[in-house]
Amino acid sequence: MDLKITNCNNFFKIKGVLNRKNVGLFNNVFENVFERVNSLTISIEEIENMDRYGVSALTELHKQSLAMNKSMAIIGNGSKDLYDYFKSQVAA
Protein backbone atom coordinates (compact mmCIF):
# COMPACT_ATOMS: atom_id res chain seq x y z
CA MET A 1 0.00 0.00 0.00
CA ASP A 2 1.18 3.52 -0.77
CA LEU A 3 1.49 6.32 1.74
CA LYS A 4 -1.59 8.46 2.32
CA ILE A 5 -1.55 11.51 4.58
CA THR A 6 -4.79 13.28 5.47
CA ASN A 7 -5.29 16.20 7.81
CA CYS A 8 -7.89 18.29 9.52
CA ASN A 9 -6.60 21.37 11.30
CA ASN A 10 -3.56 20.20 13.30
CA PHE A 11 -4.40 16.48 13.22
CA PHE A 12 -2.65 14.35 10.60
CA LYS A 13 -3.42 10.70 9.87
CA ILE A 14 -0.78 8.60 8.14
CA LYS A 15 -1.92 5.42 6.41
CA GLY A 16 0.04 2.78 4.54
CA VAL A 17 3.77 2.27 4.32
CA LEU A 18 6.34 4.89 5.32
CA ASN A 19 9.65 3.89 3.81
CA ARG A 20 12.64 5.05 1.80
CA LYS A 21 10.63 5.27 -1.42
CA ASN A 22 8.00 7.69 -0.11
CA VAL A 23 9.68 9.51 2.78
CA GLY A 24 10.05 12.49 0.41
CA LEU A 25 6.25 12.84 0.29
CA PHE A 26 6.15 12.79 4.10
CA ASN A 27 8.84 15.47 4.28
CA ASN A 28 7.03 17.64 1.72
CA VAL A 29 3.76 17.51 3.66
CA PHE A 30 5.43 18.44 6.95
CA GLU A 31 7.93 20.95 5.56
CA ASN A 32 7.69 24.16 7.60
CA VAL A 33 4.64 22.82 9.44
CA PHE A 34 5.71 24.46 12.70
CA GLU A 35 5.66 27.85 11.05
CA ARG A 36 1.92 27.34 10.49
CA VAL A 37 0.85 25.60 13.72
CA ASN A 38 1.75 25.68 17.41
CA SER A 39 0.76 22.10 18.10
CA LEU A 40 0.66 19.01 15.93
CA THR A 41 -0.86 15.56 16.40
CA ILE A 42 0.08 12.67 14.13
CA SER A 43 -1.78 9.36 14.16
CA ILE A 44 0.37 6.41 13.11
CA GLU A 45 -2.32 3.85 13.93
CA GLU A 46 -2.82 2.89 10.28
CA ILE A 47 0.84 2.61 9.31
CA GLU A 48 1.33 -0.92 8.06
CA ASN A 49 5.12 -0.79 7.90
CA MET A 50 7.84 1.74 8.62
CA ASP A 51 11.53 1.35 7.85
CA ARG A 52 14.44 3.25 9.39
CA TYR A 53 13.91 6.14 6.95
CA GLY A 54 10.35 6.57 8.19
CA VAL A 55 11.49 6.45 11.80
CA SER A 56 14.16 9.01 10.99
CA ALA A 57 11.62 11.33 9.34
CA LEU A 58 9.35 11.27 12.39
CA THR A 59 12.25 11.77 14.80
CA GLU A 60 13.51 14.74 12.76
CA LEU A 61 10.04 16.26 12.90
CA HIS A 62 10.11 15.78 16.67
CA LYS A 63 13.50 17.50 16.88
CA GLN A 64 12.11 20.43 14.89
CA SER A 65 9.21 20.75 17.32
CA LEU A 66 11.62 20.89 20.25
CA ALA A 67 13.89 23.41 18.53
CA MET A 68 10.95 25.69 17.76
CA ASN A 69 9.32 25.15 21.17
CA LYS A 70 6.17 23.66 19.58
CA SER A 71 3.99 20.81 20.80
CA MET A 72 3.94 17.50 18.92
CA ALA A 73 2.12 14.26 19.77
CA ILE A 74 2.34 10.92 18.02
CA ILE A 75 -0.59 8.64 18.77
CA GLY A 76 -1.40 5.05 17.91
CA ASN A 77 0.47 1.79 17.83
CA GLY A 78 3.32 2.08 15.39
CA SER A 79 6.83 0.95 14.76
CA LYS A 80 8.80 -0.70 17.56
CA ASP A 81 11.87 1.22 16.38
CA LEU A 82 9.99 4.50 16.76
CA TYR A 83 8.77 3.51 20.22
CA ASP A 84 12.30 2.54 21.25
CA TYR A 85 13.68 5.86 20.00
CA PHE A 86 11.26 7.95 22.04
CA LYS A 87 11.66 5.67 25.05
CA SER A 88 15.44 6.23 24.94
CA GLN A 89 14.93 10.01 24.65
CA VAL A 90 12.81 10.03 27.81
CA ALA A 91 15.44 8.00 29.66
CA ALA A 92 18.20 10.37 28.53
pLDDT (tens digit per residue) in 18-50 = 999 999 999 999 999 999 999 999 999 999 888
Instruction: Provide the residue range defining the domain that includes 78.
Output: 4-91
At residue 68, does pLDDT exceed 90?
Answer: yes
Question: CA dihedral defined by 78, 84, 87, 89, rounded to 10 degrees?
Answer: -120
- Across the beta sheet with 39-50, what order do the strands follow? 4-8, 11-18, 39-50, 71-75
Q: In whole angstroms, what is the distance from residue 63 CA to residue 60 CA?
A: 5
Q: What distance in Å separates the CA atoms of residue 53 and residue 7, rounded to the nearest whole number?
A: 22
Q: What is the CATH number of the domain that holds 81?
A: 3.30.750.24
Q: What's the number of domains the chain is made of?
A: 1
pLDDT of 4-22, one tens digit each? Answer: 999 998 999 999 999 999 9
The pLDDT assigned to 76 comes to: 86
